[in-house]
A and B are shown apart, each in its own frame.
Chain A
Amino acid sequence: MKAMAYGIARPHVMRRRSCALLLSGSLCLAMGASPPAGAANAAAPKAQAQQIEIRNFAFAPKSLTVRAGTRVVWTNRDEEPHVITSAGSLFASSKGLDTSDSYAVTFSKPGTYAYYCSIHPMMVGTIIVQ
């Protein structure tokens, strides 16, 4: 089974707050990416998703430059699980990603987002949002 986990960069979390006020927290969780994220999607219209492969204990590409609003999707191609973790907690961490699991974060605010695997910390990568 392919489990999809969705995280979101902090700026979107702020923007989503008005939506979250209308919906109970659990409902937001239960609905996952679709309706509440609609607000985020509206703010960042149809930017293409950028893919990062996790293979042989490395992120490829290791450094990725994207435009604000881009959705970045990591997919684990290793037999080992990995955990996407923002250095400085600028975006939410993924769950443990088993083989073929993916995790997505939409980056709405320009900046440099360093991240690593919390259980294999020598695995580091950077998202540069312009």
Chain B
Amino acid sequence: MQDNHDNEAGGRRQFLKCMAWAGAGTLWLMKGGVLHAHALGEGAKAAATDASFSFAQISDSHIGFHKEPNMDVVGTLRASVALVNAQAARPDFLLHTGDLTHLSKPEEFDTLAGVMQESHTRKVFYVPGEHDVIGDNGAEFFRRFGERQQAGGWYSFDHRGVHFVGLINVLNLKAGGLGSLGAEQLAWLKKDLAGLSAETPLVVFAHMPLWPLYPSWGWGTDDSAEAMSYLRRFGSVSVLNGHIHQIQQKVEGNITFYTARSTAYPQPAPGVGPGPGPMKEIAPGALHRYLGIRDVRHVQGKQVLAVTEEVLS
């Protein structure tokens, strides 16, 4: 896209420069069954040295959004991918926890896919957000980004001793309700986990929070408690979500919940303000402080899960 006004173009360059400083995502380090979260940046490099592997999480890119506080969501996503690429130790894969697009339009999916191709990481795992399933119950999303394991779109895989599960909680939502997994997916999850030993580290990811974070803003999943009952016997469980465009954490026994920042725009803390829309009153140049990438590294050896989170600065 060509900018017609020099001032605008300059402003955007400046903005992207700011983004490059802060990035927009989280690097996850697995260390001995212990999951460590790091904002992508200088600190993550040293921390990565004793990790057995890492993956990065990005979320809520909202391609198609073009309002305050971010007129260039493609640019901020691109900056996020560049930051992941700049890591000394390349993450084994990326996770995108949903809301790739703002309105589920084919051209928005095209743009997202194009930017993700700039990643040096060969594999990206996706789950849809509610913005990705508008009008067609996710048909276009699953055609382009689905893992094609189950008809409902959910899936699991094993990576270097860790069992990963991608869940769908943005379809067949009921009036007055929250996110939903549904009976069919829950039955599959129970079966999927049944053969695993309790020592297997689990990472479960979905778009909407899998805990009642703030139900009056729709930040939760109606039947998440049932899913959590299947996870409780495991010694190390990490549950990663997007949706709320900010970092929130909760520990419940051996289960640790995290929500990720957005690569596009922040949302207010639970209950602050009239609703969960974009925060528009961001000081110029300060947007990057609200965006994030998550990075996970895994270390073999220990059974206990401990997690640390660092915020982008």
Contact = CB atoms under 8 A, between A and B. Distances in A.
Interface string B70-84: 000000000000000
A114 B102 CA distance: 26
A65 interface: no
A78 B275 CA distance: 10
Contact of B134 (A58, A87, A119, A123): A119
Nearest to A88: B175
Contacts of B173: 118-119, 121
Contacts of B188: none
B10 interface: no
B235 interface: no
B176 A95 contact: no
A122 B178 contact: yes
Interface in B70-120: 102-104
B131 A81 contact: yes
B249 interface: no
B218 interface: yes
Given A79-B67, A119-B130, A122-B215, A56 B277 contact: yes
B277 A78 contact: yes
A122 B135 contact: no
A112 to B, nearest CB: 13
A4 B216 CA distance: 30
A58 to B, nearest CB: 7
**B interface residue count range (under 10 / 10 to 19 / 20 to 34 / 35 or more):** 20 to 34
A76 to B, nearest CB: 11
Instruction: Select the residue from A57, A58, A121 with max chain B CB neighbours within 10 A.
Output: A121
Contact of B178 (A56, A85, A115, A121): A121
A94 to B, nearest CB: 9
B135 A96 contact: yes
17 contacts: A56-B274, A57-B276, A78-B275, A78-B277, A79-B278, A79-B280, A81-B131, A95-B134, A95-B135, A96-B135, A98-B103, A116-B175, A118-B173, A121-B173, A122-B215, A122-B218, A124-B176
Given A56-B275, A81-B102, A81-B103, A121 B134 contact: no
A114 B176 CA distance: 11
A85 B175 CA distance: 9
Interface in B53-80: 65, 67
B265 to A, nearest CB: 9
Instruction: Select the residue from B67, B218, B274 with max chain A CB neighbours within 10 A.
Output: B218
A121 B131 contact: no
A122 B276 contact: no
Interface in B162-187: 170, 173-178
A115 B65 CA distance: 26
B217 interface: yes
A98 to B, nearest CB: 6
A96 B104 contact: yes
Interface in A56-115: 56-58, 78-81, 83, 85, 87, 95-96, 98-99, 114-115
B103 A96 contact: yes
B37 interface: no
Contacts of A80: 276-278
Contacts of B189: none
A17 interface: no
A98 B135 CA distance: 13
